[in-house]
Amino acid sequence: MFLADNPSFNGKIRSLFALAPAGSIHYTRGLARLILMSYPILNPLFRLHRLLFGPQQVGNQIMQLIGLLAERVCLPLFSQVINSSICDPGWIWVAGPPSPSFNKSRQAVYLSHYPDGTSSMVIEHFGQMAVADEIRHFDPDFFSDAYKARTALYNYSNIDVPIYIFWSRNDWLTSPYEIDRVLFPRMRKGVIKATYEVPLYNHADFLYATDNAERVFSGIVKLIKDEELGNQGHTSHKLGPSEHFS
């Protein structure tokens, strides 16, 4: 979004490596979709919150509650060597199915820091884009059809930086449809140099998986080194969106 609004920064970035990138978030799955697509119903509550408290940070109380539950429930279950499936939905409902690369002994620690707080307007912005299925600017006075008439689209054709996308079919927050139907059609031709599927990863695995160094970051390091040696474009395949996500 930043580059779409500030194309003058294109010359300052040599390559962009996007891990599980989001577009309009319209194709998200699980609990996140239920919340985001309910935005038209929840909109009056968000407006009331802004009137009473301003666009302040929200979510810290939720994070503290989840942290307390993780400390009192998940950790004792692990210490007693009991099946800890009671803690699994924290990831499954939001990030996607658990992968074999996830260290479940660290689950309580991760959950105690998730979700983090954010501005109420950020949450509203996500809801607006998800409902409209468009990557548009935030509208503080969102009302269904009028939203598209009032707010400008982010112009992704302004982005002129080589982009490499890492994605997974098990990622419920940013699904392949998000990349194929929202991001690809809006990007300048030739900007996306390659996409790499990371099988079985959910959204959180791009950060927490025990093997993401080998499956993700080592590839990024290789691409950077190849670019420094002047081999950009010779180390990765270039495919069209239909070949990526069919």
How large is the average pLDDT for residues 131-148? 77
Which domains occur in the chain, in start order?
2-51+117-245 (3.40.50.1820)
How large is the average pLDDT for residues 205-217? 94
> Pairing between strand 192-197 and 163-167?
parallel
CB under 8 Å to 102, separation ≥6 — which residues? 91, 204, 205, 208, 209, 210
pLDDT at 237: 40
Phi (first) and psi of residue 195, to 5 degrees: -125, 145
Cα–Cα distance measured from residue 164 to residue 194, given in angstroms and rounded to the nearest whole number? 5
pLDDT tens-digit map of 140-186: 777 656 656 667 899 999 999 999 999 999 999 988 888 888 999 99
How large is the average pLDDT for residues 65-91? 54
pLDDT at 117: 66
pLDDT at 143: 65
Phi (first) and psi of residue 12, to 5 degrees: -95, -5
pTM for this one?
0.80
Q: Is the pLDDT of residue 227 over 50?
A: yes
Distance, CA of 86 to chain centre: 25
